[in-house]
Amino acid sequence: MDWLLLLVNFAVMYRAGQQHFTFYQCAWLAGMWSLLYMLASMATGFLITRKNSRAILLGSTAGTVLATVYCLAVVKFQALMFGLALMGVFTAFFFNSFQAFMRGETRPGNLMKTVGIYTLSWSMGSGLGAISSGYLFSYGAPALAALSLAIGALIIATILLHRRNPLEKISSEEHIEAGGENVRPVDTRYVRVGWVIIFTAMFVQKPLVSFFPAIAASEGISSFISSLPLFLNFTIQALVGLAMLKWRGALYRRLPFTVIHLLAAGLYLAAWKMPTLSVCLPVFGLLGIYFGFAYFCSVYYSSNSGNRVFNVGINEFLVGTACLLGLFVCEWWMKYTADAASMYAVCAAMLVISAAVQFILVSPADGPRPLPGTDSPRGSAD
């Protein structure tokens, strides 16, 4: 599904740059999806269950594919806004129902593996979406639409062919994964940390995937070359998300998330000072390390504590909220400074603030809060 989303996002934003849309118009194009995604995600937490998740998956996939083809076929600003709004609604139901479906199909004790594969899959899909859109853009909307239909057919076929676990069989939906020896135990406060992480990651990544193609197009950089930094970003993100399977010791601890947020802030500052393609290519790639860590943690923390459907619903609501804020705060600052590269400075500041907020949320003042039935905390707070 993320292949579809990034395919459309890149094509729409690169074309917007070619048509000399303002950054404000670009922000609204990218933000319309986010706004409807945010609003629809609020409803999904009340509607989606393990039992109906498969049916909602199928319906939302079909709706997303049709909305995708529509967005690729139209060029007017208002028509694009309508199509992206439809995509926001359908994808909100898709991703929320998919995560419910994913937990229901995962055996107890395998949640971390499933989340790692999930992060790998959607991140690689995003990378393929960006680079395939960049490559096919010169062939026109029919080529992009044909690829969208093929991807949609593959998703639907995969869902239909999947052999479901019996509903009465226990799954990760009802099980708490505490981890092995010598690791930090599950701490309920990290659900809130996960919410802050997903908000921060989307706030700082959405301007990259939305404004960078438009800036590149306005500067005459080819669509394929423009897609390479984003492809590298998502590819490294995917690999790090999978590698998190080996890094269970980094979870439920303060030091790892503090360090990685500050390092990511430093990379954004480098892009701000030297916003050339030769610098952005390695910087975007290295930022994939941060995003792989962030997205894995946010999904895992929300899926391994309490009311998982509600937790994930909040996650996805924050995805939409952060995308909107990231787009419009960066757009305002770029306009105020008359410097497109200043969006990187905004993202760096957000990462520093986020690291401080998360550190405070898990302050040892009142001690960790393990879930009932888990072992008492082991090791230091960091």
Of all residues in the chain, the percent with pLDDT exceeding 90 is 49
**Domain-embedded: residue 109:** yes
Q: What is the pLDDT of residue 70?
A: 95
Domain membership of residue 81 (yes or no) is yes
Question: Which of the four pLDDT bands, split at 50, 70 and 90, describes residue 382?
Answer: low
- 159 or 266: whose pLDDT is higher? 266
- pLDDT value of position 379: 44
pLDDT of residue 261: 94
Dihedral of CA atoms 234, 237, 243, 248 in degrees, nearest 10, equals -150
Instruction: Tell me the pLDDT tens digit for each residue of 185-234.
Output: 767 788 889 899 999 999 999 999 999 999 999 889 999 999 999 999 99
In a domain, 172, yes or no: no
CATH number at residue 55: 1.20.1250.20
Collect all residues with Cβ–Cβ distance below 8 Å to 279 and sequence separation of at least 6.
270, 271
pLDDT higher than threshold 80 for residue 178: no
Strand, helix or coil for residue 83: helix
Choose between 232 and 370: higher pLDDT.
Answer: 232
Q: For the residues 138-153, what does the mean pLDDT come to?
A: 93
Q: What was the pLDDT predicted at 169?
A: 60
> Is residue 308 very low, low, confident or very high in pLDDT (cuts 50, 70, 90)?
low
Task: Please compute the mean of the pLDDT values over residues 179-188 and round it to a whole number.
Answer: 66
pLDDT band at 372 (very low <50, low <70, confident <90, very high): very low
pLDDT tens across 274-303, in order? 998 889 999 999 999 999 999 988 888 887
* Inside any domain, residue 370: no
Q: What is the DSSP letter of 106?
A: S
Q: For residue 260, what are the domain limits?
A: 2-164+184-361
For residue 101, what pLDDT is reported?
Answer: 72
| Domain presence at residue 331 | yes
In 3D, which of 206, 159, 173 has the Cα closest to residue 330? 206
State how many domains the chain has.
1
What's the predicted TM-score (pTM) here? Answer: 0.83
Report if residue 378 sits inside a domain: no
Assigned domain for 173 exists: no
pLDDT computed for residue 189 by the predictor: 83
In a domain, 177, yes or no: no
Mean pLDDT of the chain: 84
C-alpha 178/C-alpha 304 separation (Å) is 9
Long-range pairs, 310-314, Cβ under 8 A, ≥24:
310/45, 311/191, 311/194, 312/45, 312/96, 312/99, 312/100, 313/41, 313/42, 313/44, 313/45, 313/96, 314/45, 314/195
Mean pLDDT of 259-273: 95
